[in-house]
Amino acid sequence: MLMQGTEELAAAAAAGRALAAFSVYNLETTQAVVAAAERTGLPILIQAGSSAFAHAGRAPLAHIALEAATAASVPIGVHLDHCRDLEEIDASLALGYTSVMFDGSKLPFAENVAQTRAAVERAHAAGAWAEGELGGVPGDEDTSEAALAAAMTDPEEAARFVAETGVDVLAVAVGNVHGLAAGHPTRIDLDRLTEVAEACPVPLVLHGASGVDRDVLRAAAATGVVKFNVNTELRRAFFDALDRDLAADRDGYALARLLGSARADVADVAAEIAALLAGRPAEGSA
């Protein structure tokens, strides 16, 4: 069923748990995320985002995600991630997206506020909720190259940003990076995260959750993070499955078997992460 409104986010925030938001690129990764939601019985967000449109096309990927979410037996939202274009937000909302993110983190504060506020107004008019971002989260959400943490989100500035934009959730920078940082572990500043959570009247979002210590993820959820973006761990599971099975399927060119195996492995990883963020073990995951 399609997740509408912010009820699931509010329930997670009240319980000190969080929703997993998984980036998808094609049919198989979308099906894997839905399978994880079905297996665990947990609400999940499919992130069919701006960067993936270059590969799959906006309308085709959106239709795959929305149809899969609607057919599911558990609440699944379809989220536009890392969008910097208000016209793309309009188009995604028209297709039926349940939430959108305007990423103005690279803009001056005043311009970020103005652009994000415009995105919020569009989302709310369409019955969707909106995410903004304040503070730089370095790296590329579509690769796993090394990145170092950038300037962290200032608590007072975050409170002002929320008040002036009306965002429903706020993505923050507290040491998190996109991808898997090579040579050094991702270090989340839980003290800074607590300060931002106490200053902000809305729940927080943490991008770059892949590779973060599981205990730290739990602590962040208890602190006030209600949505964790996960991308690299799913892509790694997909690639690992292809590496493992490609030689065996080469002679017969068994594409469906090859993709099906990768899809199953991605679903296992997604189920484990979703259950972790909900505060319980995954059921039936590998």
Separation between Cα atoms, residue 190 and residue 281, nearest integer Å: 23
Annotated catalytic residue within 81, 142, 168, 265: 81
Catalytic-residue membership of 81: yes
Max Cα–Cα distance, the chain, nearest Å:
61
Other beta carbons within 10 angstroms of residue 75's beta carbon come to: 20
Active site residues: 81
